[in-house]
Amino acid sequence: MRRKINVALTVGAAGIAAWATSKVVTKSIPRTEKKALQFEKPIVLANRGGLLEAPEHTNAAFTHAASLGVHGFAVDIRLTKDEQIVVFHDEYVNRTTNFEGKLADYTLSELKEADAGYHFEDKLGECSYRGKGETVLSLKELLEQFPHLFICINIQETPDTYEGSLIPSKLWYLIEELGAEDRLAVTSAYDEQVDRFNLYAQNRIAIGAGNREIKKAYTTYTSQFGHLYQPNTDLFCCPQKMGVFSIGRVGFINFLSKLNIPIYFKGVDKPDNITSLINAGAAGFITDQPSVIMKTIQTHVVE
């Protein structure tokens, strides 16, 4: 029995020694701050332009959100048949337009004939935007129309598809062509897409963490070995909870802050949650209802 106790004590002491040594030898290196992310106060990004208030990813949505004073937009991107980047969420076009089939089977000019406001229902349950001329927008059109706003671009295409293999490079060349490096960020749920894009960008553009990177950071933080975490991205865009991961914890937000990584929370629309997250250090919010969250921030955040 005494021998077992001695072994346990030895193993425990070795673990503590390894932890202490790692604290001395290894330290996390904060990310270099990107110009696009330098905001003095929490920001509001209208998700797909504010998909609960106007047809998502349409000029109507973006114009409406901009009129409310949002700081920018969070958009999804996909690739058309003629390899043009459009702001669009779904693989198939039938949920939001009057077309059928895959988006990748249409050229941009063909998609321009679709009614992008076809299925949107207003608060009265009426399709008030149907037939009003709302079209599918290219990313280039969006960037040119709102040069003063921050755009967080999410690569929606999966890495193992033809479109997914092309879109990182296509995106980089478009950003470079427009000189938009300092007013946007690029992210994806697929870490591989973020890595592919950064092969071209070479850290000249703010890049967001994929799901794997977010979970890696949180696991390292809770393991007492947070000092070993070396960040590969510049921002996190995520909900308050990802499965068992409580991303909205004050400690985790502070952990990221010390590494120069702002965190933007999705799907938070209740005033109390917004206020508590701002007090915890949240950098901003990605919302489907920009009018609600803008009002909340203006009402509850002390200048």
Structural domains of the chain, with CATH: 29-87+139-300 (3.20.20.190)
Give 150's strand partners. Answer: 72
Output the CA torsion sign for 128, 133, 136, 137: negative
φ/ψ of 104, rounded to 5, equals: -65, -10
Query: What pTM was computed for the model?
Result: 0.90
pLDDT reported for residue 13: 45
DSSP for residue 184: E
Compute the distance between CA of residue 226 and CA of residue 247 in angstroms, rounded to an integer.
15
Residue 216 has pLDDT above 50, yes or no: yes
pLDDT at residue 71 tops 60: yes
Distances (CA, A) of 19 to 4, 16, 29, 273: 23, 5, 18, 36
Handedness of CA 132, 135, 141, 147 (dihedral sign): positive
Region 162-190 average pLDDT: 98
Q: What is the pLDDT of residue 173?
A: 98
pLDDT surpasses 90 at 84: yes
pLDDT at 213 over 70: yes
CA atoms within 13 A on the CB side of 222: 11
Compute the radius of gyration of the chain from its Cα atoms: 22
Q: At what angle do helices 211-222 and 250-257 cross, to 10 degrees?
A: 110
Structure tokens that stand for 170 in this block: 């296509």
Over the range 37-47, which residues count as b (16 or more CB within 10 Å of their CB) and which as e?
beeeebbbbbb
Q: Are 47 and 99 in contact (CB under 8 A)?
A: no
Residues 40-63 have a mean pLDDT of: 97
